[in-house]
């Protein structure tokens, strides 16, 4: 498609339902339903989208339903979003009307670069972001 690898993105349409984890080096736009974990550079979630699983991204803009933990350096939660799960962020924006049920935890950017951060629980694996 594009000649530059930094300018690529993938779109998962509203008619698409995926069971399984997604790992993308490109930016990802999701309108469909995903049952599995997502790891990508940048995630944009449409209003009709549903993600059941953990999300790990450098930046995320969420407008749909998420059932699972979210880890992002820059996180925007739009007013149409319905999130159930813990949220780990460096920078956070939440529009009035967004629904979030879970805990918010600010990540220290200096500590997040170190591989051994303090674990929150014994049963939860730590999510690492690629640089």
Q: What is the pLDDT of residues 19-35, one digit of tens each?
A: 999 999 889 999 999 99
What is the C-alpha separation between 43 and 120, in angstroms, rounded? 25
pLDDT, tens digit (0-9, with 9 covering 90-100), for 31-83: 999 999 999 999 999 999 999 999 999 999 999 999 999 999 999 999 999 99
pLDDT, tens digit (0-9, with 9 covering 90-100), for 84-129: 999 999 999 999 999 999 999 998 766 544 444 444 444 444 544 5
Q: What is the DSSP letter of 65?
A: E
Q: What are the b/e assignments for 7-25, b being 16+ CB within 10 Å?
A: eeeeebeeeeeeeeebebe
What is the C-alpha separation between 8 and 79, in angstroms, rounded? 27
């Amino acid at each position: 498609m594009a000649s530059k690898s930094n300018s690529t993105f993938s779109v998962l349409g509203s008619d698409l339902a995926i069971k399984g984890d997604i790992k993308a080096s490109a930016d990802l736009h999701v309108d469909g339903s995903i049952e599995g974990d997502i790891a990508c550079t940048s995630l944009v979630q449409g209003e009709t989208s549903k993600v059941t699983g953990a999300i790990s991204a450098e930046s995320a803009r969420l407008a749909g339903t998420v059932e699972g933990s979210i880890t992002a350096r820059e996180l925007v939660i739009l007013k149409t979003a319905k999130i159930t799960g813990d949220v780990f962020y460096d920078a956070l924006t939440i529009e009035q009307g967004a629904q979030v049920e879970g805990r918010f935890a600010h990540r220290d950017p200096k500590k997040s670069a170190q591989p051994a951060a303090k674990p929150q629980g014994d049963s939860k694996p730590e999510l690492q972001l690629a640089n």
